[in-house]
């Protein structure tokens, strides 16, 4: 690992000196757009050499994921003039990556993706610095993400997307008038693929819908009822899932199943075949076993290239405004002809991630303590709150920690919330909780006679 | 082999072993290896085509280092074809790699026979005049041609093939072919074994939905002069009436969801009609296996099939006991097998009739054909010359009249820039000082071109004309990666014979991240 880190540094230094010797003609194709005025451009576009200069020297872009999309994104961004790119990925290289993750070779198998990818891009594209981070996204402090102007996602998991979404929505602050504070807005560009299909989207939290606003875009995963697996298996997948979800726990107690352990996978396969024989079910293969157990998504080079380049181009547009941006969400289908169309989705005005405030109605006599109780019972915040702290504008109304602040703010708990909010019958409270990645904004409206309402139905779910 | 399968695992799950074998047999030629050509090839090399040849006469310059990932700093001043070829080879050692340091245009003149060695040619960044010649050669030599162009924030991809037959079109949505509206004797006697009014609740909720739908529709017919329910709602009501509400009956849920299949069984779609009516289905000794199988299909449908193609034999999962389901599955498979045997008979008789007994069609091929018979497709691409002729005028005019008609306008302008280059020996917007004049020159050429195509009178949005001049023929990496990516995807469809390639001219607008296939 030490030598990899060293060679990164050496490359970065070598790249800097090389960059000095570059002539303007290297970016001739890009410069047509960056130096010339246009009719179809983004708001506030100001052509000039400063744009390329800022791409190369000032802007910092983070690519999350160094897999199929990530490899393409790093290449695309480096060849779109971006000079400072970071990449974060926790995975190591597997043989099955090589049909599309073109920055990796057979001899790289087992090495960290982020490090190999960064090195290859720096070797090939002189002048660019790519800093790898071989870790989970959650391992980084939230402030790490604050350092980048744009974050580009090349991920295959909904959970990771939701996490980053909550991070950038947490950065977002709103003005008094309810408009987002543009200085706190951090754009996300996201891509995803499956076989011949994919999507690319841009998210300006507070302005365009965030992930949470449009979670419905992601179809639920197929799961089989346990009774089917146990009692009436009918398909190869049923036999495989029985071995995986039920038999393993029964017969190999105490061992945790590891899908990357070939012996484990072989065991599942063997059990599934036996079960298939018992029930007269044929068609169970090792490949299918892996597919079902690991929930493998088919992936090809061309779709990754198309979706990643679409994302990188939108990143360039956000950074320079050199052309019109996509209308929020691009759907790509390559199976029957080609469809590439954009769909303007709507923002959820009550989104708990990106809205100026989730509406909560309270009785106008409520105390801060009762208000906290009400929040904890609200189904919309289920699993999101445990020990909430509350502030109003810059005033801490109640802080769970540190102890000295907790003690100072504790008397507020018995005070009227309306009084604490200076008598304003509508206002936004900021809720912090260790379970939240960012801040939860709650728009409180005081009403008369709400006291007797059953707490479970407050807010309407 | 094990490592090959491991390496290609994620794509084998899409196009299968036979698709991969087809790729491995392919010899692909790429004309011009700027970013569009290099990126198209990159994806194909990763996917494991048999071999490739890069044709390009130019040397690596500094601007290549700003838009092409498949050249290196050290290559400055050297042959671009050679440099790209070497870096592509690194991506996959099992792919054969060659380069020819010559311009495609010169090669077209000096050695047209050169192209005959390839399965497929990808022509990138070539202008109209050269493409017309190339297409002629490729058609003559039966080489598939894919045309790709990246131009600033616009792109074009077009295919040119005499005929492309697709057995495995793998449509996104498929109506299950279960023949519940006309069960054959074996299926009928299986259904007869069930008592759907059984007092045993556990049995009741494990009867496969196919049985429920056949039984309930038969009852309806008995009560209604042999007629099926007039609409799905009434049929669903009849199904729901049999449901035992106190039980959670997943089989009934499935029956309700699939009720429409009885009333609206899959029809012969328009594409299959076109294939069946095609002149090529009148086979003779020179006919391909595909058309022999189509001829057999026609006979099958007129006889054993009673209007339907062979059964594919696959059934969806149905909530039921294992043995009920497995038995049902076997009944469908047996019927598919019987249909296959009938098809084999037709094929054998046809081969005998046309004097081709000595070269039979492999059973595996016929089986694949039968399984996919409902979704066969035949593509025949127009020639470029025909696309450019006034016959395209009405459609182009219609497209241009549609609001926000950026794609047809870009199509006209991408053609107009070639005319510009033929007239002025350079592309519009290459020099800053001539930008304004170039806008009016390009507009004049575009209008003239529209007139020639019979689309006179249609207007082109001014802001798009000036943007195309602003592009100055730049080949941006991201746009090239998208256009090259799409070209490579279409190559994979053509080479594997799976999925449906584009039928028309694909126009990509990178400004809005949208595309349209123009049917010209
Ligand atoms: Zn939201």
A78 shares a domain with A11:
no
A108 shares a domain with A63:
yes
Q: In angstroms, what separates the C-alpha of B173 from chain A's closest C-alpha?
A: 11
- Expressed in angstroms and rounded, the spacing between residue A201 Cα and the centre of ligand 1 is 14
Q: Is the dihedral of CA A220, A225, A229, A233 positive or negative?
A: negative
pLDDT of A273? 97
Using the Cβ of A100 and the Cβ atoms of chain B, whether some distance falls under 8 Å is answered with yes
Which residues in chain A are closer than 8 Å to B488, comparing Cβ atoms? Answer: 301-302, 305
pLDDT of A460? 34
* Regions in chain B scoring below 50 on pLDDT: none
User: Do A113 and A136 contact (CB within 8 A), yes or no?
Assistant: no
Which residues in chain B are closer than 8 Å to A76, comparing Cβ atoms? Answer: 477-478, 481
Q: In angstroms, what separates the C-alpha of A403 from chain B's closest C-alpha?
A: 53
- Would residue A382 count as lying in a domain? yes
CA angle A193/A196/A198 to nearest 5° reads 30
pLDDT of A451? 61
User: Do B441 and B465 contact (CB within 8 A), yes or no?
Assistant: no
- Would residue A41 count as lying in a domain? no
- What does chain B come to in residues? 520
Task: Give the side-chain half-sphere CA count within 13 A for A140.
Answer: 23
Using the Cβ of A104 and the Cβ atoms of chain B, whether some distance falls under 8 Å is answered with no
- Would residue A158 count as lying in a domain? yes
Nearest to A102 among B5, B12, B91 (CB): B91
- Expressed in angstroms and rounded, the spacing between residue A351 Cα and the centre of ligand 1 is 5
pLDDT of B63? 95
CATH architecture of structural domain B2-169+476-518: 3-Layer(aba) Sandwich (3.40)
A453 shares a domain with A399:
yes
pLDDT of A95? 95
pLDDT of A22? 44
A364 shares a domain with A338:
no
The total of other beta-carbon atoms located within 10 Å of residue A454's CB is 7
Using the Cβ of A309 and the Cβ atoms of chain B, whether some distance falls under 8 Å is answered with yes
- Would residue A349 count as lying in a domain? no
- CA A79 from chain centre, in angstroms, equals 24
pLDDT of A4? 42
A63 shares a domain with A17:
no
Three-class secondary structure of residue A367 per DSSP: strand
- Would residue A351 count as lying in a domain? no
pTM over 0.95: no
Q: How many domains does chain A have?
A: 4
Three-class secondary structure of residue B457 per DSSP: coil
User: What's the pLDDT band for A458 if we cut at 50, 70, 90?
Assistant: very low
A274 shares a domain with A419:
no
Is the pLDDT at A10 greater than 70? The verdict is no
Is the pLDDT at A21 greater than 80? The verdict is no
C-alpha to C-alpha distance for A111 and A108, rounded to whole angstroms: 6
Q: Is B502 in Cβ contact with A99 (below 8 Å)?
A: no
User: What's the pLDDT band for A258 if we cut at 50, 70, 90?
Assistant: very high
A197 shares a domain with A108:
yes
Which residues in chain B are closer than 8 Å to A301, comparing Cβ atoms? Answer: 42-43, 46-47, 485, 488
pLDDT of A11? 52
Range of the domain at A326: 49-219+300-343
Which residues in chain A are closer than 8 Å to B14, comparing Cβ atoms? Answer: 195-196, 298, 300
Chain A interface, best mutation among B122, B513, B518, by max A CB count within 10 A: B513
pLDDT of B387? 94
Task: Identify the CATH number of the domain in which residue A418 sits.
Answer: 3.10.290.20
C-alpha to C-alpha distance for A134 and A113, rounded to whole angstroms: 8
- Any idea of the CA torsion for A294, A297, A300, A304, to the nearest 10 degrees? -110
Which residues in chain B are closer than 8 Å to A292, comparing Cβ atoms? Answer: none
Nearest to A305 among B43, B73, B435 (CB): B43
DSSP 8-state symbol, B267: P
Chain B interface, best mutation among A32, A277, A285, by max B CB count within 10 A: A32
pLDDT of B303? 97
Whether this model's ipTM surpasses 0.85 comes out as yes
Nearest to A309 among B10, B46, B481 (CB): B481
**φ, ψ of residue A376 in degrees (nearest 5):** -65, -25
User: What's the pLDDT band for A352 if we cut at 50, 70, 90?
Assistant: confident
Of the candidates B33, B148, B25, B126, the one whose C-alpha atom is nearest the C-alpha of residue B86 is B33
C-alpha to C-alpha distance for B509 and B303, rounded to whole angstroms: 50
- Would residue A313 count as lying in a domain? yes
Nearest to B66 among A29, A279, A298 (CB): A29
Q: In angstroms, what separates the C-alpha of A303 from chain B's closest C-alpha?
A: 7
Which residues in chain B are closer than 8 Å to A99, comparing Cβ atoms? Answer: 7-11, 46-48
A184 shares a domain with A121:
yes
User: Do A190 and A150 contact (CB within 8 A), yes or no?
Assistant: no
User: Do B119 and B144 contact (CB within 8 A), yes or no?
Assistant: yes
pLDDT digits (tens, 9 = 90+) for A150-162: 999 999 988 999 9
Residue of A nearest to B465 (CA): A39
Of the candidates A101, A67, A59, the one whose C-alpha atom is nearest the C-alpha of residue A83 is A59
pLDDT of A456? 43
Give me the residues paired with residue B98 across strands.
B53
A351 among known catalytic residues: no
C-alpha to C-alpha distance for A288 and A106, rounded to whole angstroms: 24
CA-to-CA dists, residue B253 to A28, A225, B130, B167, B209, angstroms: 62, 14, 60, 34, 9
pLDDT digits (tens, 9 = 90+) for A419-432: 999 998 888 899 99
- Would residue A92 count as lying in a domain? yes
**Residue ranges matching CATH 3.40.50.720 in chain B:** 2-169+476-518
Residue of B nearest to A337 (CA): B502
Tokens 């709507």 locate to: A346
**DSSP letters for B382-437:** PPHHHHTSGGGHHHHHHHHHSSS-HHHHHHHHHHHHHHHHHHHSS-TTSSGGGHHH
Is the pLDDT at A277 greater than 60? The verdict is yes
pLDDT digits (tens, 9 = 90+) for A103-136: 999 999 999 999 999 999 999 999 999 999 999 9
Nearest to B6 among A95, A305, A338 (CB): A95
**φ, ψ of residue A209 in degrees (nearest 5):** -60, 140
A84 shares a domain with A211:
yes
Residue of A nearest to B65 (CA): A26
- For residue A182 the two structure tokens come to 């543009």
Using the Cβ of A167 and the Cβ atoms of chain B, whether some distance falls under 8 Å is answered with no
pLDDT of B143? 98
pLDDT digits (tens, 9 = 90+) for B393-439: 889 989 998 876 799 999 999 999 999 999 999 999 999 999 999 99
pLDDT digits (tens, 9 = 90+) for B301-358: 999 999 999 999 999 999 999 999 999 999 999 999 999 999 999 999 999 999 998 9
- CA B154 from chain centre, in angstroms, equals 22
Is the pLDDT at A19 greater than 60? The verdict is no
Return the percentage of chain B with pLDDT > 70, whole number.
Answer: 100
Task: Identify the CATH number of the domain in which residue A104 sits.
Answer: 3.40.50.720
Strand order through the sheet with B51-55: B96-100, B51-55, B27-31, B120-124, B144-151, B154-160, B505-509, B514-518
Residues A135, A213, A227, A311: which is the catalytic one?
A227
Q: In angstroms, what separates the C-alpha of B352 from chain A's closest C-alpha?
A: 36
């Amino acid at each position: 690992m030490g030598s990899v880190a060293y060679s990164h540094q050496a490359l970065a230094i070598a790249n800097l000196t090389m960059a000095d010797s570059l002539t303007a003609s290297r970016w001739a194709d890009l410069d047509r757009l960056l130096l010339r005025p246009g009719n179809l451009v983004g708001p506030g576009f100001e052509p000039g050499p400063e744009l390329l200069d800022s791409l190369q020297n000032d802007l910092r872009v983070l690519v999350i994921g160094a897999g199929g999309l990530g490899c393409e994104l790093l290449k695309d961004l480096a060849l779109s003039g971006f000079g400072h790119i970071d990449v974060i990925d926790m995975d190591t290289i597997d043989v099955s990556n090589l049909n599309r993750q073109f920055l990796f070779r057979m001899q790289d198998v087992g090495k960290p993706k982020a490090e190999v990818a960064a090195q290859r891009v720096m070797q090939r594209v002189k002048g660019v610095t790519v800093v790898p981070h071989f870790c989970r996204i959650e391992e980084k402090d939230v402030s790490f993400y604050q350092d980048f102007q744009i974050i580009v996602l090349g991920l295959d998991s909904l959970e990771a997307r939701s996490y980053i979404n909550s991070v950038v929505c947490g950065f977002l602050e709103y003005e008094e008038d309810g408009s987002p504070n543009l200085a706190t807005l951090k754009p996300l560009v996201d891509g995803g693929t499956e076989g011949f299909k994919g999507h690319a989207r841009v998210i300006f939290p507070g302005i365009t819908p965030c992930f949470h606003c449009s979670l419905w875009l992601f179809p639920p995963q197929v799961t089989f009822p346990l009774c089917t697996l146990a009692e009436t298996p009918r398909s190869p997948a049923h036999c495989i899932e029985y071995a995986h979800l039920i038999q393993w726990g029964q017969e190999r107690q105490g061992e945790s199943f590891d899908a990357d352990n070939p012996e484990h996978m072989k065991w599942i396969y063997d059990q599934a075949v036996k079960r298939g024989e018992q029930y007269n079910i044929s068609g169970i293969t090792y490949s299918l076993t892996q597919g079902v157990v690991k929930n493998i998504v088919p992936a090809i080079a061309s779709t990754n290239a198309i979706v990643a380049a679409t994302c990188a181009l939108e990143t360039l547009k956000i950074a320079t405004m050199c052309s019109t941006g996509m209308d929020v969400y691009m759907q790509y289908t390559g199976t029957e002809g080609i469809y590439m169309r954009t769909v303007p989705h709507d923002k959820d005005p009550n989104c708990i991630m990106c809205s100026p405030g989730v509406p909560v109605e309270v009785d106008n006599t409520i105390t801060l303590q009762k208000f906290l109780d009400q929040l904890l019972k609200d189904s919309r915040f289920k699993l999101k709150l445990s020990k909430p702290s509350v502030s109003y504008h810059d005033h801490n109304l109640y802080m769970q920690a540190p102890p000295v602040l907790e003690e100072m703010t504790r008397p507020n708990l018995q005070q009227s919330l309306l009084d604490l909010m200076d008598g304003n019958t509508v206002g936004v409270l900021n809720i912090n909780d260790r379970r939240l990645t960012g801040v939860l904004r709650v728009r409180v409206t005081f009403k008369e006679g709400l006291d007797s309402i059953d707490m479970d139905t407050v807010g309407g779910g | 082999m094990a490592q090959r399968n491991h390496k290609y695992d994620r794509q084998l799950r899409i196009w299968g072993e036979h698709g991969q074998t087809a790729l491995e047999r392919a010899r692909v030629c790429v004309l011009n290896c700027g970013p569009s050509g290099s990126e198209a090839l990159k994806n194909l090399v990763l996917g494991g085509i048999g071999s490739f040849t890069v044709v390009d006469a130019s040397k690596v310059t500094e601007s290549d280092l700003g838009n092409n990932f498949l050249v290196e700093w050290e290559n400055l001043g050297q042959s671009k074809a050679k440099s790209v070829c070497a870096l592509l080879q690194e991506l996959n050692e099992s792919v054969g790699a060659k380069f020819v340091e010559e311009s495609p245009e010169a090669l077209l003149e000096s050695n047209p026979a050169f192209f005959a060695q390839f399965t497929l040619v990808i022509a990138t960044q070539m202008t109209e005049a050269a493409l017309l010649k190339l297409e002629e050669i490729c058609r003559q030599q039966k080489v598939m041609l894919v045309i790709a162009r990246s131009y600033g924030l616009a792109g074009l991809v077009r295919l040119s093939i005499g005929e492309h037959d697709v057995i495995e079109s793998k449509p996104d949505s498929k109506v299950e072919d279960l023949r519940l509206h006309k069960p054959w004797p074996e299926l009928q006697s299986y259904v007869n074994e069930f008592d759907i009014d059984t007092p045993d609740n556990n049995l009741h909720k494990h009867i496969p939905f196919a049985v429920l739908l056949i039984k309930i529709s038969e009852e309806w017919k008995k009560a209604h002069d042999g007629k099926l329910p007039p609409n799905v709602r009434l049929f669903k009501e009849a199904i729901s009436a049999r449901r035992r509400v106190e039980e959670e009956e997943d089989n009934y849920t499935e029956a309700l969801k699939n009720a429409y299949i009885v009333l609206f069984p899959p029809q012969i779609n328009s594409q299959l009609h076109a294939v069946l009516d095609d002149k090529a289905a009148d086979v003779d000794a020179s006919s391909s296996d595909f058309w022999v199988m189509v001829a057999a299909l026609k006979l099958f449908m007129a006889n054993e099939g009673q209007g339907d193609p062979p059964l594919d034999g696959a059934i969806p999962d149905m909530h039921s006991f294992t043995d009920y389901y497995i038995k049902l599955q076997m009944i469908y498979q047996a019927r598919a097998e019987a249909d296959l045997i009938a098809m084999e008979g037709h094929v054998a008789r046809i081969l005998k009739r046309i004097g081709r007994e000595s070269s039979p069609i492999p059973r595996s091929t016929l089986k694949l054909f039968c399984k996919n018979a409902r979704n066969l497709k035949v593509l025949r691409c127009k020639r470029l010359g025909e696309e450019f002729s006034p016959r395209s005028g009405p459609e182009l005019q219609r497209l241009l009249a549609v609001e926000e008609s950026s794609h047809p306008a870009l199509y006209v302008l991408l053609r107009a820039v070639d005319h510009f280059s033929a007239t002025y020996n350079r592309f519009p917007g290459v020099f800053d000082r001539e930008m304004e004049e170039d806008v009016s020159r390009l507009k004049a050429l575009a209008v003239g071109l529209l007139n020639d195509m019979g689309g006179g009178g249609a207007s082109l949005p001014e802001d798009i004309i000036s943007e195309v001049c602003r592009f100055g023929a730049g080949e941006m990496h991201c746009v090239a990666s998208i256009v090259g990516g799409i070209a490579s995807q279409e190559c994979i469809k053509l080479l594997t014979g799976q999925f449906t390639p584009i039928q028309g001219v694909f126009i990509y607008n990178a400004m809005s991240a949208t595309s349209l296939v123009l049917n010209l």
